[in-house]
């Protein structure tokens, strides 16, 4: 009874809500491109009994959906409305075709609803939280911010095409490129803008290959006015995706559509990326984002703490800004951690708490970033040993020595298990790692210069981030 009432309620309440519930489930089952292309343009226009009536842009569209997604839609609809649910399609400017499975075949003449818009109604993936307004300018992001502004006023019409932004983690690349997208959407409501990261692009491409829809995939991206791809470095090693992206890039560039890219390195350092792409990335403007200087860090902390409704003294802000220097995400993280801790204990934010929090963040950063591979690389460089040798069976003295030091530091500076460490060094047993750590420990107590060497290597590893 209860269930029936609920269904009745939705039923009489709102076709839009019903369709929204369906969309949420559909989204979990299809790629973003499929979702944007085929589902978002569908408009719910009525709900009567258990029949949801939707409008679909064209006959072609309806045929495609019927062929590819009939069972998905049926399943979802039954989920939302119950087992007797049905869907009726109205094709704009044409006639209706009644659907679902057994109900197909009945064609009704109906007055066409609204004409479909020429611009398909798809999602840009932009998050509205990234704006120019809440992006704080500083020396480190000056050029990038200025270029971003110019592009937003005239997408595709400046010489900054592509705009290639690069910089370390947490410095605002994603924020800035999304802010451009949001600003363009505001300035030019008819422009088709899409934002995605290059790994999502790759996943979708693979899906498109598997389902034989590469052309559809490619033409979707070629039809954009503004293409924003984040973290383009993830295309490294993905040759087929690079090749397709190359062609999409050319089409968009030739037709003066705006391309915006971000990366953790400048184009020339993207080893493993097709040279043709690297050279194209440099056609427009390449701008870096540098870590913020003290004043900017203070400004960011002030602004963010205000927006979180926090009361923090200048002294505390300055303390945080002095100790957290390389990453804006960490500045934010620190404030949020403080806020959480203070509200948990319903205390004011004390200096003690601030010190503790800053320290925790520094520790997190180290352990998160240090890997066995970086340790190995640094140790080999320092001791002048070839990196590939360290994984070999060789018992050559200097190599065994380097290997043991690298194992020792890996044990000390990463969270890796002895087993994992052993695997990294040519599949050695965990007892070999224990033996290495013991030998190094022993050596350190006996030999002061050796002890110093280990300390120096340790700080090299820690400060390489």
328 contacts ligand ADP (rule: CB under 6 A):
yes
CB of 174 to ligand ADP, least distance (A): 3
Q: Give first-to-last CA distance, the chain, whole Å.
A: 62
CB neighbours of 209 closer than 8 A, spacing ≥ 6? Answer: 240
Summary count for the chain: helices (H), strands (E)? 19, 10
**Window 234 to 293, contacts with ligand ADP (CB under 6 A):** none
Stretch touching ligand ADP by CB under 6 A, among 30-38, 57-65, 166-174, 351-359:
166-174
Stretch touching ligand ADP by CB under 6 A, among 15-23, 198-206, 324-332, 405-413:
324-332
Compare residues 82 and 168 and give the one whose CB is closer to ligand ADP: 168
Stretch touching ligand ADP by CB under 6 A, among 17-25, 114-122, 131-139, 149-157:
131-139
Compare residues 297 and 428 and give the one whose CB is closer to ligand ADP: 297
Backbone angles phi, psi at 175, to 5 degrees: -55, -50
Residue 254, Ramachandran bin (φ over 0: left; ψ between -120 and 50: alpha; else beta) = alpha
Asked whether 208 and 217 are in contact (CB, 8 A), the reply is yes
Q: Which residues bind Mg ion (CB under 5 A)?
A: 174
174 contacts ligand ADP (rule: CB under 6 A):
yes
Beta bridge partners of 181: none
Q: Name the helix (H) or strand (E) containing 116.
A: none
Q: Name the helix (H) or strand (E) containing 296.
A: helix 294-307
Residue among 35, 17, 27 nearest 194 (CA): 35
Stretch touching ligand ADP by CB under 6 A, among 49-57, 163-171, 432-440, 448-456:
163-171
For 309-371, give the DSSP string: T----HHHHHHHHHH--S-HHHHHHHHHHHHHHHHHTT----HHHHHHHHHHHHHHHHHHH--
Stretch touching ligand ADP by CB under 6 A, among 197-205, 325-333, 361-369, 390-398:
325-333
CB of 300 to ligand ADP, least distance (A): 5
334 contacts ligand ADP (rule: CB under 6 A):
no
CB of 139 to ligand ADP, least distance (A): 11
300 contacts ligand ADP (rule: CB under 6 A):
yes
Binder to ligand ADP among 43, 53, 86, 175 (CB under 6 A)? Answer: 175
d(CA 406, CA 412): 10
* Position with the least CB separation from Mg ion: 174
CB of 177 to ligand ADP, least distance (A): 8
Binder to ligand ADP among 43, 53, 86, 173 (CB under 6 A)? Answer: 173
CB of 230 to Mg ion, least distance (A): 6
Residue 388 in tokens: 């590939």
365 contacts ligand ADP (rule: CB under 6 A):
no
Stretch touching ligand ADP by CB under 6 A, among 4-12, 107-115, 119-127, 135-143:
135-143
Residue among 354, 69, 335 nearest 213 (CA): 69
d(CA 348, CA 300): 21
CB of 262 to ligand ADP, least distance (A): 7
d(CA 287, CA 141): 9
Stretch touching ligand ADP by CB under 6 A, among 118-126, 132-140, 184-192, 434-442:
132-140
* Residue 329 binding partner per list ligand ADP, Mg ion, none, with a CB distance cut-off of 5 to 8 Å that depends on partner kind: ligand ADP
The CA radius of gyration of the chain, in Å to the nearest whole number, is 29
171 contacts ligand ADP (rule: CB under 6 A):
yes
Asked whether 209 and 173 are in contact (CB, 8 A), the reply is no
d(CA 302, CA 371): 34
Compare residues 77 and 148 and give the one whose CB is closer to Mg ion: 148
Binder to ligand ADP among 170, 267, 284, 422 (CB under 6 A)? Answer: 170
411 contacts ligand ADP (rule: CB under 6 A):
no
Compare residues 165 and 244 and give the one whose CB is closer to ligand ADP: 165
d(CA 79, CA 71): 12
Instruction: Report in angstroms the alpha-carbon separations of 101 from 38, 67, 119, 368, 390.
Output: 19, 11, 30, 53, 64
332 contacts ligand ADP (rule: CB under 6 A):
yes
233 contacts ligand ADP (rule: CB under 6 A):
no
CB of 130 to Mg ion, least distance (A): 10
Residue 8 in tokens: 């009745």
DSSP state of 441: H
Compare residues 174 and 410 and give the one whose CB is closer to Mg ion: 174
Where on the chain is the footprint of ligand ADP (CB under 6 A)?
134-136, 141, 167, 169-175, 300, 328-329, 332
């Amino acid at each position: 009874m209860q269930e029936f009432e609920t269904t009745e309620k939705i039923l009489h309440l709102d076709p839009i809500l019903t369709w929204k519930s369906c969309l949420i489930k559909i989204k979990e089952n299809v790629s973003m491109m499929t979702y944007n292309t085929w589902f978002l343009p569908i408009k719910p226009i009525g709900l009567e009994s258990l029949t949801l009536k939707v409008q679909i842009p064209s006959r072609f569209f309806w045929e495609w959906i019927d062929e590819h997604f009939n069972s998905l839609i049926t399943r979802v609809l039954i989920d939302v409305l119950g087992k007797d649910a049905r869907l009726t399609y109205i094709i704009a400017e044409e006639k209706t075709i009644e659907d679902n499975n057994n109900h197909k075949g009945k064609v009704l003449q109906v007055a066409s609803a609204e004409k479909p818009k020429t611009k398909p109604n798809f999602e840009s993936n932009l998050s509205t939280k990234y704006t120019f307004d809440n992006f704080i300018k500083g020396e480190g992001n000056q050029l990038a911010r200025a270029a971003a502004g110019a592009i937003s006023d005239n997408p595709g019409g400046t010489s900054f095409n592509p705009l290639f932004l690069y910089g370390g983690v947490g410095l605002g690349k994603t924020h800035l490129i999304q802010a451009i997208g949001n600003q363009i959407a505001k300035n030019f409501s008819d422009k088709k803008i899409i934002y995605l990261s290059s790994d999502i692009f790759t996943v979708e491409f693979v899906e498109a290959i598997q389902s034989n829809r590469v052309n559809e995939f490619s033409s979707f991206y070629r039809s954009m006015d503004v293409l924003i791809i984040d973290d383009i470095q993830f295309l490294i090693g993905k040759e087929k995706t690079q090749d397709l992206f190359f062609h999409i890039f050319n089409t968009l560039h030739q037709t003066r559509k705006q391309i915006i890219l971000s990366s953790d390195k400048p184009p020339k350092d993207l080893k493993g990326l097709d040279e043709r792409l690297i050279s194209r990335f440099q056609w427009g403007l390449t701008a870096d984002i540098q870590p913020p200087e003290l004043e900017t860090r203070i400004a960011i902390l002030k602004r963010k703490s205000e927006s979180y409704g926090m009361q923090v003294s200048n002294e505390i802000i300055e303390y945080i800004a002095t100790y957290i220097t390389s990453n804006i995400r960490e500045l934010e993280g620190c404030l949020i951690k403080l806020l959480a801790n203070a509200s948990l204990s319903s205390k004011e934010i004390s200096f003690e708490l601030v010190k503790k929090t800053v320290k925790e963040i520094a520790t997190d950063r180290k352990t998160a970033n240090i890997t066995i591979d970086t340790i190995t690389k640094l140790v080999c460089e320092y001791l002048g040993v070839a990196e590939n040798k360290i994984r070999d069976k060789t018992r050559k003295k200097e190599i065994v020595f380097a290997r043991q030091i690298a194992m020792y530091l890996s044990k000390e500076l990463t969270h890796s298990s002895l087993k994992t460490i052993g695997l990294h060094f040519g599949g050695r047993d965990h007892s070999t790692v224990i033996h290495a750590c013991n030998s190094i420990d022993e050596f350190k107590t006996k030999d002061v210069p050796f002890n110093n060497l280990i300390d120096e290597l340790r700080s090299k590893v820690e400060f390489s981030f």
